Chains A and B, each alone.
Chain A
């Protein structure tokens, strides 16, 4: 192995840029293969882990049940699920590599400190496909950092890679901002696992204009896409739609960044949603919520002021997961509209028209029931019941961005591809920064973590192999 020792730790065998799941899997794998590894996490220690902090489970192929997974989940079903959510926008070779590479990854994770729990209430629909982390993603990230440190990985917090030196298809060094200064860290190989660009407001505005000013970023404020932008500027091939992001409707009172899971609202199928003009704009009961929640971010983003309001009545209050902010309340629809500062007359008319259009049916949240509207535009196809039982409640909605799809192209050994399709010699990518190769659109619960884990391991192993020569 060719060790390039320079003083003050300013060089290493494998430089890992990023501090989330994919970066940690790469760092641990490279260290286990004998490489001297430095990991750069741009956030302070308290917020380490990027969006992995906010995750909760991981989907992996398994042939037998485990103490925390029911039944079996095999390649063809996994593949079919992926094709369904992406509408076929995927790269089959890479996708199958992830699926196959995920087989029994739980055991590897446990060997590296991960702890799992059987799913309890609320997540039972994932009991067969997804393994849940005991305590969630931050607990996983904590365990991985402890393991990485034990394996000798040098971890630097608040260290942001601001530029990459790449010559003739070869990575030389990264320019790193830390402790108020900039320094050059040379490495024999580099793994870029620094996530998407969803926290870079200026970049979001380039795409969505001023509307982006009113978006909520659900995850880490440190996912600014700086490394992604640098790679693209240095000739890496772009993959994934640069204009698309995964966005859901979150509570309008959510913090600007990092609100995570608790700001999501699951009330929409049980009420109506109006914009600031008091008008409905989409079928709230089109399909089961898990199949529809991801379109509502875009829908709300399309409304004036990028805001909307979900209105329910007392019948519906206990039908969805409690949310972190209490609903606004009114004894009448008019009073509720006033609380929100909405045009009272318009909201009252919308509710009256909706109530008149509701046909009688047998209400059943567990099925696509026959409670629907007739001659109403837009219709509400299921779970439509008149808003007639006071008190009335409302939640403000805003678009909440989970992640972006733009990334860099990679091959099956996690090498970053150039614009000409040829791989960079010693530059690798894993995690959200390359998941656009596999998830061209849509999302599948726990699959981002699968991609990060499988590609993180490949990238770490390949980077170490490159160093050994």
Chain B
């Protein structure tokens, strides 16, 4: 279990909010809160993961400090959210990776870079700084079998850990498996996740980076998220070309893997740069200061994956290809290795919380008195 102090603070704040309810129009957290009179640890973990940190409730709060009630919902829920992720993490022995997460992510990236550079230096038949062209050029730098082996292992480990994390989320938030996997709840929850409904602040946007309502953060997040999906699709198509059609990379500019990868990479790079810019300017009062390293580490690593990937694409026909390939693969490897122990998990648990929200709100709509 996780989060003694953050749990107590979240309970204190939600008890005040539940007697006020002025913020119920901003997002899903307050209507979900209103379905309860008291808050168990499971309720609070769920509400914390349902919060999108839009900050509407912070600026609107008549009880925000210096009021003696000192209500700061975004911060209280962000602190609990981070604590809850440590509690959901599997295997439990690796949950400690969430502490000082920024440094962990940074160290993993550096170690991976060193490993891949050395590896490429030793395995490249003609040396690292040599122009390579034509089919299979990448594999002349890093051998095919090793590349497939390393990334398959990392992806499987990440998937396994995320799956186990989802199971502990369901257990630790008191979510019934049956309602979670019900198709209509999945549909509603997934739609809310894909649309980022609760960063819309009732149509006006969220209060980020400051008091004004803006749509910027949601749009930048869409760039990152859908860019990520495009990049995943690029990898999948490339794997099919390679293993299914016997066409090894690199692929020509007009090919599907390159178009998807290029579009996704550019979208993600723009989105990440924008999010980092907003984060640098944001109002720090409603922020979870302890989570800063984790957020910057995750955004930074994902940005490294994209920048090295784009550079590789543009410079693949030059002698820098070997170096860039090693750096790109290192960034991707670090990203996947830490996937279940980085801010990436917010995507998993937000989606899960939105599905639970869909389930309980449709139950409440069916039976308003219940």
- A contact residues vs B (CB 8 Å cutoff): 46-47, 53-54, 56, 115, 117-118, 120-122, 132-139, 142, 146, 255, 258, 260-263, 317-318, 321-324, 326
Contacts and interface: CB of A to CB of B under 8 A. Distances in A.
A401 to B, nearest CB: 17
Contacts of B212: 146
A91 B229 CA distance: 65
5 interchain residue pairs of minimum CB distance = A135-B60, A117-B25, A136-B22, A139-B60, A262-B19
Contact of B25 (A53, A54, A135, A317): A135
Contact of A322 (B15, B57, B60): B15
B62 A260 contact: yes
B18 interface: yes
Contacts of A260: 20, 62-63
Interface residues of B, number: 35
Interface in B127-163: none
A46 B34 CA distance: 27
A253 to B, nearest CB: 12
Contacts of A263: 19
25 contacts: A46-B67, A47-B67, A115-B213, A118-B25, A120-B24, A120-B25, A122-B21, A135-B23, A135-B26, A135-B56, A138-B61, A138-B62, A139-B56, A142-B59, A260-B63, A261-B19, A261-B20, A262-B19, A262-B20, A262-B69, A322-B15, A322-B37, A322-B38, A324-B19, A324-B20
A134 B26 contact: yes
Contacts of B211: 142, 146
Contacts of A146: 211-212
B15 A136 contact: no
A146 B59 CA distance: 13
B92 interface: no
A120 B34 CA distance: 10
A104 to B, nearest CB: 20
Contact of A121 (B34, B64, B213): B34
Given A117-B25, A134-B202, A323 B60 contact: no
Interface of B: 15-16, 18-26, 31, 34, 37-38, 56-57, 59-69, 201-202, 204, 211-213, 368
A142 B24 CA distance: 18
A136 to B, nearest CB: 3
A132 B24 CA distance: 11
B25 to A, nearest CB: 3
Contacts of B16: 262, 324
Given A121-B34, A135-B56, A318-B37, 5 more contacts: A46-B66, A115-B204, A120-B24, A134-B202, A138-B61
A427 B321 CA distance: 78
A370 B202 CA distance: 42
Contact of B22 (A142, A255, A261): A261
A115 B20 contact: no
A258 B204 CA distance: 29
A213 to B, nearest CB: 20
A56 B21 CA distance: 10
A142 B19 contact: no
Contact of A321 (B15, B19, B66): B19
A132 B60 contact: no
A142 B207 CA distance: 12
Nearest to B38: A322
A37 to B, nearest CB: 22
Q: Which of A120, A133, A326 has the most CB of B within 10 A?
A: A120
A318 B18 CA distance: 13
B266 to A, nearest CB: 34
Q: Which of B19, B38, B64, B66 has the most CB of A within 10 A?
A: B19
A142 B15 contact: no
A216 to B, nearest CB: 13
A56 B22 contact: yes
Contact of A136 (B62, B67, B69, B201): B62
A344 B338 CA distance: 63
Contact of A115 (B23, B38, B62, B202): B202
Nearest to A259: B69
Given A115-B213, A122-B34, A135 B59 contact: yes
A208 B368 CA distance: 44
A220 to B, nearest CB: 10
B20 A322 contact: no
A146 B207 CA distance: 14
Contacts of B66: 46-47
A139 B67 CA distance: 16
Given A138-B62, A146-B211, A322-B15, A258 B22 contact: no
A366 to B, nearest CB: 10
Contacts of A323: 19
Given A56-B22, A134-B25, A135-B25, A262 B63 contact: yes
Contacts of B213: 115
A466 to B, nearest CB: 34
Contacts of B65: 46
Contacts of A120: 24-25, 31, 34
B246 to A, nearest CB: 58
A263 B16 CA distance: 9
A146 B212 CA distance: 9
A283 to B, nearest CB: 26
A462 B332 CA distance: 67
A326 to B, nearest CB: 8
Nearest to A137: B62
Q: Which of A133, A135, A142, A261 has the most CB of B within 10 A?
A: A135
B37 A135 contact: no
A133 B26 CA distance: 11
A132 B18 CA distance: 17
B69 to A, nearest CB: 8
Contacts of B20: 136, 260-262, 324
A55 to B, nearest CB: 9
A139 B24 contact: no
B37 to A, nearest CB: 5
Contacts of A321: 19
A135 B57 contact: yes
B33 to A, nearest CB: 10
Nearest to B23: A135
A122 B23 CA distance: 13
A148 to B, nearest CB: 14
Contacts of B61: 138
Nearest to B34: A121
A317 B38 CA distance: 12
Nearest to B35: A121
A40 to B, nearest CB: 21
Contacts of A54: 62
A466 B61 CA distance: 38
Contacts of A142: 59-60, 211
Contacts of A118: 25
A47 B61 CA distance: 11
Contacts of A255: 68-69
A452 B44 CA distance: 39
B67 A258 contact: yes
A132 B63 CA distance: 19
A139 B65 CA distance: 15
A317 B21 CA distance: 19
A258 B68 CA distance: 9
